[in-house]
Amino acid sequence: MVSVDGTSHIRDVAQYAVVARRTTYAPTKNENAQAFVVGPHVSLTGILKVNGEIRIEGRLEADIRCHTLLVAPEAQIDGVIVADRIEIYGVVKGEVYCNRVVVKDNSRVEAELNYRSLELEPGAFFEGRSRRYSNPIEISPAFD
C-alpha cells in the first residue's frame, strides 16, 4: 500500500515507531547454555526457584521465582511468576511480578501484569489487568 494521504502515513510511522516488531522464538544455544530447561514433555506442579534463567517448554502449574524466564511458544504456565525479566511466547495465566515484561506475537496472556516496563507486540493476546510499579518484585506474594 502506498500512502498518499496523511492517514496511512501516520499508520506506517506508528508501526515502525512502536518497535514492537513481531519477532519469532529463536533462543540461541550459547545464550541459554546455563538455563534451567523444563522440556516440552514435562509437566510440573509446585514451586520452582532458580537463581538464574529458566526456559519453559512444557506445562507448569507452579509458582516460579527466578532471574529470567523464557516461556516458549508451546509452553503453558499457570501460577505466580516473580522475575527480573520475562519473555512470553507461549501461554501464561495467573499473576506476573516482573521488572521487565515482554509479550511476544502469538502469545496468550490471561494474567495480572505487575511491571516496571511492559512491551506488548501487536499479535499478542492479552486479557486481564495491568499495573505499573517502580518495584513490582517488592509487592509480590511470598512463597512458602
Name the minimum Å distance from CB 42 to other proteins.
30
Single residue of 89, 124, 136, 140 touching other proteins by CB under 8 A: 124
Name the minimum Å distance from CB 67 to other proteins.
19
DSSP the chain: ----SHHHHHHHHHHHHT----------TTTTTT-EEE-TT-EEEEEEE-SSEEEE-SEEEEEEEEEEEEE-TT-EEEEEEEEEEEEESSEEEEEEEEEEEEE-TT-EEEEEEEEEEEEE-TT-EEEEEEEE-S-TTTTSPPP-
Between residues 4 and 142, which has the closer beta carbon with respect to other proteins? 4
Q: Does 134 bind other proteins (CB under 8 A)?
A: no
Between residues 25 and 126, which has the closer beta carbon with respect to other proteins? 126
Single residue of 35, 66, 77, 120 touching other proteins by CB under 8 A: 120
Q: Does 117 bind other proteins (CB under 8 A)?
A: yes
Q: Does 14 bind other proteins (CB under 8 A)?
A: yes
CA dist 20 and 140 (Å) reads: 27
Give the binding site for other proteins (CB under 8 A): 1-2, 4-7, 9-14, 16-20, 100, 117-132
